[in-house]
């Protein structure tokens, strides 16, 4: 499934003019510049083109990179606060190829193998996310978003890619804690992870309103915990694609959907789809019902290859592997992939309430 059906929105933001009026002038960097730099003790009046003269805020670096031919930002150390791309130049999505970088994509990265003092971390000590992506394409590498008390990242009508060395971990909130995706595309690949996030609902990733999330190349969703529903991933009227040794493991929910919780809307005929293929693994997740996956209302689960494994998931009440309501469906390789799960009632797959 090479194409991610994305977002077809381009917004003109009048407030951008006001914000630019009070900001330092954006100019092209000297020839040979490969990155802008950000450090908490920097200065937004600096050129930002070297470690010796870094910007102070990620917001300033994003503003400059969005208007420059240099699309790389290197974060050095910990940045505290909430950053939004709302006032950047809006971009247009017309379907994203998972193997092709968006032409306007900005890479936010840390130094590979950085020392403890220079390890790139984004965090927020307020009731706000560390990063709000709006109408922009952002790639994260070698960086951690952690310690946020109001959730970590949101993506609205944009594109987020988590790649090598990227972690969204140890964040808390009421709901939609790790990644919140609205009408957007999210790609998690190259061993990137969403882990150890906690909330009442939708602790790891929540995608809704036509979002598409792709997990590939050893992506890891693990140890996220929801008090009620949706420990690892929650899907609402959206599409989740899982392939290439991606793993959803050791997530938990107090009620439904320890690994994955999927919702559809029957009244509006809006469905959610989950497609699992290659060597993807959904294992050792737990919930009261639907330890591995729970499908509610107008939702569809398709398992395309017999090498998929939905195994060792547990439910304290029933439906250890995959549970569904009567309005949901499961197709494909079922008997060979949904195996060795545990529950007092219906260990592997069944209909809730029967």
Domain ranges of the chain: 172-354
**What's residue 11's pLDDT?**
27
Which tokens hold the place of 269? 């005929």
Three-state DSSP at 205 gives strand
Burial of 195 (0-12, 13-18, 19+ CB in 10 A): buried
**What's residue 164's pLDDT?**
98
Whole-angstrom Cα distance, residue 219 to residue 28?
A: 36
Whole-angstrom Cα distance, residue 283 to residue 313?
A: 5
Residue 221 contacts residue 232 (beta carbons within 8 Å): yes
**What's residue 27's pLDDT?**
64
pLDDT at residue 10 tops 50:
no
**What's residue 174's pLDDT?**
93
**Taking phi first (over 0 means left), then psi (-120 to 50 degrees means alpha), and beta for anything else, what does residue 174 get?**
alpha
C-alpha dihedral sign at 347, 348, 352, 354: negative
Whole-angstrom Cα distance, residue 161 to residue 108?
A: 10
**What's residue 300's pLDDT?**
95
**What's residue 267's pLDDT?**
67
pLDDT-wise least confident of 10-19, 70-79, 166-175: 10-19
Query: Average pLDDT of the chain?
Result: 90
What confidence tens digit (pLDDT) does each residue in 280-333 have?
Answer: 999 999 999 999 999 998 999 999 999 999 999 999 999 999 999 999 999 999
Residues 6+ apart with CB under 8 A from 252: 224, 225, 226, 231, 258, 285, 286, 287
pLDDT-wise least confident of 17-26, 43-52, 159-168, 183-192: 17-26
Instruction: Answer with the residue of higher pLDDT: 197 or 9.
Output: 197
């Amino acid at each position: 499934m090479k194409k991610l059906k994305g977002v077809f929105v381009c917004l003109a933001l009048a407030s951008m003019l006001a914000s630019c009026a009070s900001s330092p002038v954006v100019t092209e960097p000297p020839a040979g510049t490969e990155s802008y730099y950000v450090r908490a003790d920097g200065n937004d009046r600096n050129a930002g083109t070297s470690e010796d003269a870094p910007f102070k805020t990620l917001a300033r670096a994003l503003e400059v990179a969005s208007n420059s031919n240099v699309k790389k930002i290197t974060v050095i150390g910990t940045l505290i606060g909430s950053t939004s791309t709302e006032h950047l130049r809006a971009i247009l999505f017309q379907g994203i190829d998972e193997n092709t970088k968006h032409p306007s994509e900005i890479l936010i990265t840390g130094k590979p193998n950085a020392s403890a003092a220079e390890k790139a971390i984004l965090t927020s000590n307020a009731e706000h996310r560390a990063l709000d992506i709006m109408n922009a394409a952002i790639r994260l590498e070698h960086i951690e978003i952690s310690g946020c008390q109001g959730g970590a990242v949101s993506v609205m009508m944009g594109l987020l890619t988590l790649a090598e060395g990227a972690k969204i971990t140890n964040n808390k909130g009421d709901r939609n804690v790790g990644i919140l995706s609205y009408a957007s595309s999210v790609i998690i690949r190259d061993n990137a992870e969403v882990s150890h996030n906690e909330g009442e609902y939708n602790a790891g990733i929540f995608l809704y309103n036509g979002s598409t999330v792709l997990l590939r190349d050893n992506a890891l969703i693990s140890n996220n915990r929801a008090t009620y529903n949706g420990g690892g991933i929650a899907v609402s009227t959206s599409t989740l694609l899982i392939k290439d040794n991606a793993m959803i493991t050791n997530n938990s929910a107090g009620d439904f959907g320890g690994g994955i919780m999927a919702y559809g809307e029957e009244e509006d005929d809006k469905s959610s789809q989950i497609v699992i293929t290659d060597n993807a693994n959904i294992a050792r997740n737990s919930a009261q019902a639907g330890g591995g996956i729970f499908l509610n209302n107008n939702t569809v689960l398709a398992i395309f290859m017999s090498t998929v494994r939905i195994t060792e998931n547990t439910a304290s009440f029933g439906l250890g592997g995959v549970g569904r309501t009567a309005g949901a469906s499961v197709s494909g390789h079922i008997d060979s992939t949904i195996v060795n799960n545990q529950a007092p009632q219906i260990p592997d797959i069944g209909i809730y309430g029967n």
